[in-house]
Amino acid sequence: MDRESKAALVMAFLDGCSPADSVRLCRSAGSFVEAAAQAEDYFSSDSASQSGQFFRNNRAERENRAEQVLDWCRHNQVTCLNLLDPDYPPLLLELSVPPPLLFIRGDAQLLSMPQIAIVGSRNASPGGLGNARAFAAALAASGFVITSGLALGIDGAAHDGALQTGKTIAVLGTGLDVIYPRRHDDLYRRIISQGGAVVSEFLPETPPFAGNFPRRNRIISGLSLGILVVEAALKSGSLITARYGLEQGREVFAIPGSIHSAFSKGTHQLLKQGATLVESAADIAEQLGGLLASMAPDVKTGQPPPTEAGQVLLEAMGFDPVDMDMLVQRTAMSVNTLTQELLLLELEGAIAVGQGIYQRLR
């Protein structure tokens, strides 16, 4: 798909051609190659004639710059996905304007795995940081990939918690070669070395412009089945991520806090607007279980057949409805282990779940 990615890059280097323009032209023409060929006529309209002239006079230079970016990707083990690539994350394709290109360092397949976004305040309280780590560790142990924005505070704690038990994805508001904030340089490298992924829609060397971060936030929510807001002030960027999630049809969860804390004002506002109140990771895994099962044909889970523990669990479950407490008694497994195995069994279609009750199907 390098030919399509190169064409998408040629359009990205066109002054005046926004990502929305690129996606619209691609969908109309059927490919980025055709869209790039038609772009001169499109940008030769009265409102964009200057951009069209600039494009025509610099086509060779733009193609050269596009090839340089692809070379940079090859030399730095970066995957460049365009939205026509079969490995492009399926949930992102649901966005009205998905990113034309994604640059990924690490395991690109994780972007198509079931994800939960965990976001919150950069200036988080000690309790908020602890909650972010604990929820991320439990959800990652349950089989979810934890997605966040590599920011200070809740984002960093979520990535760190996820790395204790599973995988995590960091979505950047910069180019992949610009680590922001700098103090997360080690975290960035741990995410990759432990099998995670770092992703950006921005070209290499893109600095942390303020306008980049709302775009980053829509990718965080777009990749995820649900968004957990741990702590947020009323004007927090995390509320932007939650709003994107609601617009994209994602589940939004919030952890309640003290009515006297400014860190809880944003989460309480979300709860008033219909977000789901959660007190444990199990609350989230349970609610998303049915959604995961319904999406199984479309989302690449990459999960193996039932594990040995899963088979033991099925036998202990029998064919009568049971709850979590009963399963703990029958199997002597921890709640975390049970939650992970139940999620896998649900994805395989072996069980169904509703209102905290589990039912074996086969």
For residues 132 and 154, the answer to whether their CB atoms sit within 8 Å is yes
Amino acid at 44: S
pTM of the model as a whole: 0.79
For residues 261 and 131, the answer to whether their CB atoms sit within 8 Å is no
Residue 228 or residue 264, greater confidence: 228
Residues in Cβ contact with 47 at an 8 Å cutoff, skipping those fewer than 6 apart? none
pLDDT digits (tens, 9 = 90+) for 164-185: 999 999 999 999 999 999 999 9
pLDDT digits (tens, 9 = 90+) for 334-362: 776 777 677 778 766 788 776 668 888 87
Q: What is the DSSP code (8-state) at residue 183?
A: G
Instruction: Look at residue 265 and give its three-state secondary structure.
Output: helix
pLDDT digits (tens, 9 = 90+) for 64-91: 999 999 999 999 999 999 999 999 999 9
Amino acid at 79: T
**Residue 289: predicted pLDDT:** 67
Amino acid at 294: S
Residue 74 or residue 295, greater confidence: 74
Give the length of the chain: 362
The string of DSSP codes covering 92-119 is GGGSSS--SEEEEEE-GGGGGS-EEEEE
Distance CA 129, CA 196 (A): 21
**Residue 48: predicted pLDDT:** 46
pLDDT digits (tens, 9 = 90+) for 251-260: 999 999 888 8
Q: In whole numbers, what is the pLDDT of the chain averaged over residues? A: 87
